[in-house]
Amino acid sequence: MAKRTGEKYDAIIDAAVRVIAEYGYHNAQVSRIAREARVADGTIYLYFKNKDDVLISLFSEKMGSFITEMEEKLREIESPADQLYTLIRLHFEKLEEDRQLATVTQIELRQSNPEVRRGIGEILKRYLDIIDRIIESGMEKGLFRPNLDIRVCRKMIFGSLDEMVTSWIMNDYKYSLLDQVEEIHRLFISGMGK
Amino acid sequence: MAKRTGEKYDAIIDAAVRVIAEYGYHNAQVSRIAREARVADGTIYLYFKNKDDVLISLFSEKMGSFITEMEEKLREIESPADQLYTLIRLHFEKLEEDRQLATVTQIELRQSNPEVRRGIGEILKRYLDIIDRIIESGMEKGLFRPNLDIRVCRKMIFGSLDEMVTSWIMNDYKYSLLDQVEEIHRLFISGMGK
Amino acid sequence: MAKRTGEKYDAIIDAAVRVIAEYGYHNAQVSRIAREARVADGTIYLYFKNKDDVLISLFSEKMGSFITEMEEKLREIESPADQLYTLIRLHFEKLEEDRQLATVTQIELRQSNPEVRRGIGEILKRYLDIIDRIIESGMEKGLFRPNLDIRVCRKMIFGSLDEMVTSWIMNDYKYSLLDQVEEIHRLFISGMGK
Amino acid sequence: MAKRTGEKYDAIIDAAVRVIAEYGYHNAQVSRIAREARVADGTIYLYFKNKDDVLISLFSEKMGSFITEMEEKLREIESPADQLYTLIRLHFEKLEEDRQLATVTQIELRQSNPEVRRGIGEILKRYLDIIDRIIESGMEKGLFRPNLDIRVCRKMIFGSLDEMVTSWIMNDYKYSLLDQVEEIHRLFISGMGK
DNA sequence: CATGAATGAGCGTTCATTCAT
DNA sequence: CATGAATGAACGCTCATTCAT
């Protein structure tokens, strides 16, 4: 069972994003997602193992393409400082241009059960790896202190960006995330620098 | 209704922490909390408005005393740099010495419904204020750059610490949070410094 | 247990009437009645066997004194026709002058459980007996048809009056019950007459 | 939601009648009705909005078809006196031939909450209208006094019939309602007549 | 006599998942 | 492949009653 592609597969995931964004995680019933996707309830189970699988897949699909895009963009940049800048900027840009997705991934999906959260954590590892590589590269090139604890820095960077976005959503998108890129970048560069 | 003090009030809150820590948020039924507190189901409703109120009160009680303790400790410290150090150390110390509470506040309660999350956010504001005051003080004393965006820095600090703790829990407390205090402190001090 | 007299006994019954009238049968909790009577919850159980007993006693006390009053008044009247007139008039008068009691006995207490309803029925028998005696007397005196089925007439009279009052309450006391006495009396007199 | 027809719709309503008749209003839990209808608990909510809706629908369905039948029968009758006779006879006939339904509508459903009672009242209006029309017709044709208060007479007729049936049930169907039709009819005809 | 804190049984409703068509 | 009617387990909360003080 559970073919993981096709027109309806995408329709269901997109419907899930819309429904969760509009009604909140706790009101995102399978039947509502099905209706929004113009599909029968049972059809969802032809494409996904269960509801958790829809949510994890949602995160995986959206985040996956984002991470891939991020990797491509960073590959074209030499300087770790510029890479970090781009990472922050893309992170904010992406979420700022799709508020629905931002709400869903930052707020709603965090209310999900342990199974889903574990799935999400798994996917985020790829993103953390990207951050790791930037830091490593900065250390190798002498831009950052040589004795930085990469795992600590990685968490600080991710935690900072994550909190920035969450806060921005909770404050009703009142300001622009992109305006904060410079400040954050500067703090990390001089914070990790020699 | 709803006396908010007394022996049973505390017993219920402590039982809630234990039950949630052991069985997870989604298996923390009112009746299970009651049983753990050696109290009848109905008794919970003599002390709390509803289940949400138990959870918010839990957070409020535990976080409240932590924040008060933090404020007292910081009042004895002059230097903003030392204050930041102490804040980080206490934050980690507190959660490291009570893993159950750490799990509940960092992992489980985040799965809660919007009402509870709102209550939690409200309580956290006091903590964010403390961070704000340290940054302001550092700017006034010429330790930090004068044009720092306080709100950005505050979120970065909180987001970093939060992610550190969450990560530590998700990795089964494998390492000591306190070992990371220096690194984090150094990064923020030089990151925000002139 | 359960002394059936005293200051508090009356206070509880009167409180019950007020609470039921104001909040409705389904919101007339024992604790609310106790509070209204300025008495502890447990005290109610010193005067009544249980909640049902309060309700039945309420009906019994109120209806009892009404029936006694009715009997006294009727004793002074000779003519069965006049007696019937007085019965109808007193029935309406009594309920019209105490709307709270009217609501409670006509509307709210009818939602009660079988036990209470049985108790109420028991008390009403005395009232039905009064009606019976009027009819009998009318037959004996040649005012009514000699072959009237007393039990049928009794039910028709009681049912008519009861429906009149219920309807009056449901229509927010918009009109006066006493205005209808003539019509009802005339119908029954000529209906039962030769 | 809530398809208001179909095989299961009928099954649930009929099950509700049986369960309420057998166990009483206060023991007619949704799950018991579901079991009796050989249907899952949740299925009830595919056909009804909630439990109240089941009860109101029950009354509506049963009473509705009764009222329709009544209207048809009366349409074939010219004389208001005969119409009244038929109304009384059908009223009793119907309830006498289905004791379960009689118990449920006369005794049990009257214990229901205000919402259900309101629904029932609404449905009964159609029945009261029928009585009105008979009286009006009788007045027009000179059979009844021209100055009758229709609303008073309507309530007396309905109240009388209602009380007759309730009494019959409370006395364990010991006698036949149909035996009383003549007496009641005679009383009203001569009571309202010139 | 009086109190009122504590008890715990009981129930309407939701919703992820299945499966006959 | 697709449907959507049907399932049934699960749970927060209320409130009449008790009993230690």
Q: Tell whether the model's pLDDT for residue C1 goes beyond 60.
A: no
Asked if D100 contacts D28 with a C-beta cutoff of 8 angstroms, the reply is no
Q: Touch between chain A and chain C (3+ CB pairs, < 8 Å)?
A: no
> For residue D90, what are the contacts with CB-CB under 8 A and spacing of at least 6?
D66, D69, D70, D73
- Nearest beta carbon to residue D159 from set C121, C159, C192: C159
| pLDDT at residue number C86 | 98
Q: Tell whether the model's pLDDT for residue D1 goes beyond 60.
A: no
Q: Does the nearest atom of strand F lie within 7 Å of A11's Cβ?
A: no
Residue numbers in A near B113 (CB within 8 A): 26, 111
- B112 and B33 in a single domain? The answer is no
B178 in reach of chain A (CB within 8 A): no
Q: Tell whether the model's pLDDT for residue D194 goes beyond 90.
A: no
| pLDDT at residue number B194 | 82
- A67 and A26 in a single domain? The answer is no
Angle between helical axes of B150-170 and B181-192 (0-180°, round to 10): 160
Task: Read off the pLDDT of residues B66-112 as tens digits, 9 standing for 90 and up.
Answer: 999 999 999 999 999 999 999 999 999 999 999 999 999 999 999 99
Those nucleotides of strand E lying less than 7 Å from any protein Cβ are: 1-20
Domain limits for position D5:
1-49
CATH code (residue B31)? 1.10.10.60
C-alpha Rg value of chain B to the nearest Å: 18
Q: Show which of B10, B25, B49 is a domain's final residue.
A: B49
Q: Tell whether the model's pLDDT for residue B2 goes beyond 80.
A: no
Amino acid (1-letter code) at residue D133: R
- D75 and D144 in a single domain? The answer is yes
| pLDDT at residue number B39 | 97
- A132 and A163 in a single domain? The answer is yes
> For residue A182, what are the contacts with CB-CB under 8 A and spacing of at least 6?
none
Q: Tell whether the model's pLDDT for residue B45 goes beyond 60.
A: yes
CATH code (residue C96)? 1.10.357.10
Please give the residue of chain A at the shortest CA–CA distance from B144: A187
Asked if D173 contacts D99 with a C-beta cutoff of 8 angstroms, the reply is yes
Three-state DSSP at B192 gives helix
- C2 and C33 in a single domain? The answer is yes
- Nearest beta carbon to residue C163 from set D111, D155, D170: D155
Distance between D150 CA and the closest CA of chain C, angstroms: 10
Burial class (CB in 10 A: 0-12, 13-18, 19+), C190: middle
- D69 and D95 in a single domain? The answer is yes
Q: Show which of D49, D65, D80 is a domain's final residue.
A: D49
- D113 and D147 in a single domain? The answer is yes
Q: Tell whether the model's pLDDT for residue A85 goes beyond 80.
A: yes
- D11 and D85 in a single domain? The answer is no
How many structural domains are present in chain B? 2
| pLDDT at residue number A1 | 53
Q: For residue B114, what pLDDT band results from cuts at 50, 70 and 90?
A: confident
- B110 and B43 in a single domain? The answer is no
Asked if B131 contacts B158 with a C-beta cutoff of 8 angstroms, the reply is yes
Task: Read off the pLDDT of residues A91-134 as tens digits, 9 standing for 90 and up.
Answer: 999 999 999 999 999 999 998 888 888 899 989 999 999 999 99
Q: Tell whether the model's pLDDT for residue B160 goes beyond 70.
A: yes
Q: Touch between chain C and chain D (3+ CB pairs, < 8 Å)?
A: yes
| CA distances for A39 relative to A4, A13, B155, angstroms | 16, 12, 42
Task: Read off the pLDDT of residues C29-46 as tens digits, 9 standing for 90 and up.
Answer: 999 999 999 999 999 999
D158/C163 CB distance under 8 A: yes
Task: Read off the pLDDT of residues C62-103 as tens digits, 9 standing for 90 and up.
Answer: 999 999 999 999 999 999 999 999 999 999 999 999 999 999
Q: For residue B1, what pLDDT band results from cuts at 50, 70 and 90?
A: low
- B110 and B167 in a single domain? The answer is yes
Task: Read off the pLDDT of residues C100-149 as tens digits, 9 standing for 90 and up.
Answer: 999 999 999 998 888 888 899 999 999 999 999 999 999 999 999 999 99
- A78 and A5 in a single domain? The answer is no
H helical segments located in chain B? 7-23, 30-36, 41-47, 51-75, 80-97, 99-103, 114-140, 150-170, 181-192
For residue B177, the surrounding DSSP H or E stretch is none
- A72 and A159 in a single domain? The answer is yes
Task: Read off the pLDDT of residues D113-143 as tens digits, 9 standing for 90 and up.
Answer: 988 999 999 999 999 999 999 999 999 999 9
Using the C1' atom of nucleotide E19, identify the protein residue whose alpha carbon is closest: A42
Distance between D7 CA and the closest CA of chain C, angstroms: 31
Q: For residue B5, what pLDDT band results from cuts at 50, 70 and 90?
A: confident
Interatomic separation, CA of residue D40 and C1' of nucleotide F9, rounded (Å): 11
Q: Does the nearest atom of strand F lie within 7 Å of B111's Cβ?
A: no
Task: Read off the pLDDT of residues A146-169 as tens digits, 9 standing for 90 and up.
Answer: 999 999 999 999 999 999 999 999
